[in-house]
Amino acid sequence: MNLRGVWAIYNYEMARFFRTLGQSLISPVISTVLYFVVFGAAIGSRIQNIDGVSYGAFIVPGLVMLSLLTQSVSNASFGIYFPRFSGTIYEYLSAPVSPMEMVLGFVGAAASKSLLIGLIILATSAFFVPLQIAHPVWMVVFLLLTAITFSLFGFLIGLWADGFEKLQIIPLLVITPLTFLGGSFYPIGILPPFWHTVSLFNPVVYLVSGFRWSFNEVSDVSVWVSLAMTGVFLAVCLAAVSWMFRTGYRLKN
């Protein structure tokens, strides 16, 4: 494996991230802090505990996951789209770097960025609510799996999109609504039976539920089901990326 090539791509993407810290890091952190103020302090004070957990502490995993999902998709999609837009993608394709090494570089950088943002938001939440992590190892596992999986998904969007409009449409019209409707701010168990069943078809439910379980052992579905569904989504994304590189879809035309 050409580790030097992987590191070069990874280092370039991370350098671009640190050059735009205001937009890349500070903006999502401030947005999430506003959620804590509005939902955790203003609304949370009027809501009773959920399964023995205060509402402010209950929404922390959902808010971290919301930022992690959106930032993973955004960073990965922009990271691969701009080389295609500028034409430098052909330099990557002609370099002694395999498709898998390209994916490792771009997706690794996107996942690192979103993990950094997620960890900062997690640390910030301790200033607003009493934070308790019952299973820190599982928390890290879900963080890593989610960041890698949705960075791969964002990489797919960046390869598929042929314009800035398409680059934004799936994160705005699909990822964000699914995250808000995936139990980030409420347990899906309080929904009527029909909508509870519908929610189980939302893949974000399993991510949020598993991640929340690692904090306070409160979950909407079994942690093993959450882990399995995350693995299935990861496998699907890997298969799709492999197919795109094998066929040259949106890369060589």
Contact 124, 32 (CB under 8 A): yes
Report the predicted TM-score, pTM, of the whole model to 2 decimal places: 0.86
Give the integer Cα–Cα distance in Å for 253 and 235.
26
pLDDT band at 41 (very low <50, low <70, confident <90, very high): low
pLDDT band at 148 (very low <50, low <70, confident <90, very high): very high
pLDDT one-digit tens code per residue, 185-227: 888 878 888 888 888 888 888 888 888 888 888 888 888 988 8
Rounded to 10 deg, the angle between the 223-247 and 136-160 helix axes is 30
The neighbouring-strand residues paired with 53 are: 50
DSSP category for residue 53 = B
pLDDT value, residue 32: 74
**Mean pLDDT calculated for residue range 22-37:** 72
Contact 72, 154 (CB under 8 A): yes
The neighbouring-strand residues paired with 50 are: 53
Structure tokens at 238: 């890997």
Reply yes or no on whether the pLDDT at 250 is more than 70.
no
Reply yes or no on whether the pLDDT at 60 is more than 70.
yes
Give the integer Cα–Cα distance in Å for 98 and 104.
10
Give the integer Cα–Cα distance in Å for 29 and 96.
38
Handedness of CA 88, 85, 72, 221 (dihedral sign): negative
The amino acid present at 200, given as its one-letter code, is L
The amino acid present at 80, given as its one-letter code, is I
Give me the DSSP letters along 129-182: S----S-HHHHHHHHHHHHHHHHHHHHHHHHH-SSHHHHHHHIIIIIHHHHHTT
Instruction: Give the helix/strand (H/E) hosting 16.
Output: helix 3-19
Structure tokens at 166: 């398409």
pLDDT value, residue 43: 64
Work out the mean pLDDT of the chain and round it to a whole number: 81
